Structure 1
Amino acid sequence: MKISIFGAGYVGAVSAACLVKEGHHVTAVDPDPNKIGPLMAGKSPIIEPGLEEIIRDGVASGRLTATHDAAAAIAATDLSLICVGTPSLPDGNLNTEYLKRVAEDIGAAIKLKNTFHSVVVRSTCLPGTTESVVIPALEAASGMKASEDFGIAYLPEFLRESTAIKDYYDPGVIVFGASDKFTLDRLEAIHAPINRPKFVVDIKTAEGIKYTNNAWHALKISFSNEIGNILSKAGIDSHVALDILCADDRLNISKAYLTPGFAFGGSCLPKDLRALISMSRRQGTPAPLLEATLSANEVQINRAYSLIANQGSRKVGIVGLSFKPDTDDLRESPLVELAERLYGRGYQIKIFDPNIRMNRLTGANASFVSARLPHLAELLNEDIESVLSDSDVIVVGNRAEMNGSLKRVKPETHIIDLVRVDKTLRSEGNYHGICW
């Protein structure tokens, strides 16, 4: 395929080299002569192991060229990758000036073509940027309609400095954010030789995945450093502890606990997190990430309360009260906290949880309920139907307890779903997912 790459920096240079190595014809476009000059001479404009050899071979083969002429590059290619920088502004937001400028240049050039051209953004940009910045600039400059007269897509890159070539050929996943089939077909053809999991999503989701990945990587580094500081102060080899943590691929390095939903609770996580924070304070070891974890948990409870309050009704049914399904353990359940807050502010509450029987609550479990929700006995209902029929707002706290009853909720009743009881549902109308 004939491909033009706008931006000959880190991502652009690596992408150009790897595409050329796979047999594609690539034109690199950049206004900076300090980038174009080395490329035209078969040299790498950046330091990256193995890159210069691929560039040299690509130039020698005639499949890699470089120019500052955007119009000529567009005229000679079928698909363009936008790989320009999106640096930070003083307030932390992104500077999309280069992105917009390149989109305008591409738009002016595709206006002169009589064949379908695909524009693919690789620059890291916040969700909605392609829609709000790139597409309007392309359409204004070309007088054409995105996804109809020209293709548009987002292709997040997951390249790391010093291992970029390996990362290109062996990524964790490949994500196509596409809005037209022709461009998607082109992207799938380009990536056909790479045997890795491939996902097709909308453009905004693809943009969000890039940030989700980077935030997760940063979070892991900060967590390992913070826990390492605490453990080492206690005389523990943090590398041994983290090696064992990583050996657990059922809970620790897995999908477990990585499904967005409601707050955590129960007899272990909140208590143990508080104890670890207390230990770090006694040590004099800062633990801002662990402290923020408790704060973030409270934010999710507040979010659920706000969703309920925003519906404007005082009659609320809660389905599921324990911190997880199939247990009667109410200790530090965030649903108990939510119910107590609603009750204390005058809401009429009905609760259904088939696992909760007041005469079976004992020990610490009974003590917690007595302290946090002393009116539980009068709020509990043994029949889910009465909770569904008598409530204007239904809060789904546990999936198992809802047990297929969603379809029996009256159409006018608002549903606040904290667990995503049905994977096909998104927030719309009277259905409100807490974060979907």
Structure 2
Amino acid sequence: MKVSIIGSGYVGSVSAACFAELGHEVICIDIDEEKVKQINAGVAPIWEEGLDELLARHTQKTLIATSDYDYAVANSDASFICVGTPSGEDGGIDLSIVKAASASLGRAIAKKEHYHVVVVKSTVVPETTEKVVLPILEEYSGKKAGRDFGVVMNPEFLREGKAVYDFMHPDKIVVGAIDQRSFFVVSELYRKLDRPVTHTNPRTAEMIKYVNNSFLATKISFANEVGNICKQLGIDTYEVMDAVGTDFRIERQFLNCGAGFGGSCFPKDVKALIGKARDMGYAPQLLQSVVDINNRQPLKMVELLREKISDMKGDMKGKRIAVLGLAFKNDTDDIRESRSIPVIEELLRLGADIAAYDPMAEESMKKLFKDVTYCKSASDALTEAHGCLIMTEWNEFRNLDKEFGLMASRVVIDGRHLINPEKLSTQIDYQGICW
């Protein structure tokens, strides 16, 4: 089949490359001409494991990029909206890019004689596809949804850093279509994947995405709340969660205690669902608690650090603090909602000198914080440091040992359960955030 993809971010570029890998002809649409050139040169606009290889394999063969909506729509059977939906100050999502893409698609569909399917893959709150996207498409195309063109909500369930793998090996495929014809077109795109397709309506498909992420976020905040209690009682919370996770009704995944969750999905999606509920007059107390716990959790790292340097009366001014890990998770350069951000803000407020290191996310964090020393290795960051905060679960941090000997004061606060002080040859003053 022939597919056009609007937007070249994580979801768009991965979807484009993977649809090409599945044998479809793909046209990427982006208003950024530099991204268009980059994709046509076979270079991924973002870092994602396996993406460069797929683009190199398919670019200029079954995958091209353009900024021309008319050309892309005329030469495809379905168009996927994969643009960003950033959070507003009130927690609601900003639909301006989705609306602009819908209007551009509507204009292009107006010039097309054949049936065309518009697929929303961007994460949007329930009713957005039917009450925002569909009316815009009808307005700008002058055509009728369900008769002249189709509309579908097809949420993504991709982990950053593992998005290519997740696309090709999905847990579920959800297609929320307004009519049977649209459902068939989108389902056919996934035919080669060994996974049944869930057929539902658009607003249910939208809700499935939000509930999926909100539940995972809830498990993390629950684990952190329990972990904070366990720490006060001298109980190993990981031992507790290992046992609890053997219950098939609960499972072990997402019960790791630590500094909390970040990224482009969990924080934004939970807040958006809260906002949608409040718009309807319902106060979602559990979901609000998930956010509140997550907001408090990383600051406990700084509290523990200040307790450990009590001989300095907790005074952080002028003290060199190593922050290891800037990305919100390992295997990505994404810093959106990274738990390092509130930690760095608090340390700067307290007057600390920060030496930060991350194998991939340095350039992204530099755009937020100028008054930070960015190091090229963990060793450089730890040299003469009075304390160390481990914020991201990079594997290289698990192997740190003699590097801690470079510190002026070997205080290590672990936010990701990476260090086992008993196995180190270098003695450190170690504290886990929840253990």
Same fold judged by TM-score > 0.5?
yes
CA distance in 2, matches of 1:41, 1:72: 19
Residues 26-425 of structure 1 mapped to structure 2, 5 A cutoff: 26-60=26-60, 62-249=61-248, 251-253=249-251
2:20 aligned residue: 20
Query: Is the CA contact 1:222–1:289 (under 8 Å) kept in the aligned structure 2?
Result: no
Runs of 4+ in structure 1 off by over 2 angstroms are 251-254, 288-293
Query: Relative CO higher for 1 or 2, CA cutoff 8 Å, sep ≥ 6?
Result: 2
How many angstroms does 1:291 deviate by? 11
8 Å contact from structure 2 (residues 5, 29) kept in 1: yes
Q: Secondary structure at the match of 1:247?
A: coil
Paired residue type of 1:174: I
Partner Cα distance (2:76, 2:196) in 1: 28
Q: Which residue of 1 aligns with 2:420?
A: none
Distance 2:288 2:225 in 1: 11
2-structure distance, mates of 1:6, 1:253: 37
Is 2:227–2:237's contact at 8 Å kept on the other side of the alignment? yes
Q: 1:233 and 1:144 mapped to 2: Cα distance? A: 63
Listed one character per residue, the Cα deviations across residues 67-116 of structure 1 (whole Å, up to 9, x for unaligned) are: 01111110111110000111111111111111111111111111111111
Question: Separation in 2 of the partners of 1:24 and 1:119?
Answer: 16
Shift of 1:290: 11
Q: Structure 1, residues 372-396: CA drift from partner, whole Å, max 9, x if none?
A: xxxxxxxxxxxxxxxxxxxxxxxxx
Contact 1:94/1:125 (<8 A) preserved: yes
Structure-2 change in CA distance of 1:55 and 1:228 (3 Å): same
CA contact (8 A) 1:4 1:73 kept: yes
Identify if the C-alpha distance between structure 1 residues 164 and 113 changes in structure 2 by more than 3 Å, giving closer, same or farther: same
Name stretches of at least 5 consecutive residues in structure 2 with no aligned partner: 253-284, 291-435
Could you tell me how far 1:232 is from its partner in structure 2?
2.4
| 8 Å CA contact retained: 1:20, 1:63 | yes
CA gap 1:203/1:291 in 2 versus in 1, 3 angstroms: closer
- CA-atom RMSD, angstroms? 1.9
Check whether the contact 1:9–1:35 (CA below 8 A) recurs between aligned residues: no
Amino acid at match of 1:170: H
Distance 2:190 2:287 in 1: 40
- Post-superposition shift, 1:221? 0.9
* TM-score of the aligned structures, taking structure 2 as reference length: 0.57
Residue identity in the other structure for 1:88: S
Contact kept in structure 1, 2:175 and 2:186, CA below 8 Å: yes
Contact 1:67 1:73 in 2 (8 A): yes
TM-score by length of 1: 0.57
Letter in structure 1 aligned against 2:59: V
1:215 deviates by 0.7
Q: Tell me how far apart the structure 2 counterparts of residues 241 and 146 of structure 1 sit (CA, whole Å).
A: 53
1:38 CA displacement: 1.2
Contact between 1:154 and 1:177, CA under 8 Å: does it hold in 2? yes
Q: Deviations over 1:302-349 (max 9, x none)?
A: xxxxxxxxxxxxxxxxxxxxxxxxxxxxxxxxxxxxxxxxxxxxxxxx
The residue type paired with residue 106 of structure 1 is L
Percentage identity across paired residues of the two chains: 44
Q: Is contact 1:42-1:52 (8 Å) kept?
A: yes
Structure 1: how far apart are the matches of 2:90 and 2:30? 28
1:335: which partner in 2? none
Do the aligned partners of residues 203 and 290 (structure 1) sit closer, same or farther apart at CA in structure 2, a change above 3 Å counting? closer
Report the secondary structure of 1:120's partner residue: strand
CA 29–292 in structure 1, closer or farther in 2 if over 3 Å, else same: closer
1:225 alignment partner AA: N
2:234 partner amino acid: G
Are 1:226 and 1:289, in contact at CA under 8 Å, matched by a contact in 2?
Answer: no
Displacement of 1:289: 6.8
SS at match of 1:84: coil
User: Does the aligned pair in 2 maintain the 1:171–1:196 contact within 8 Å?
Assistant: yes
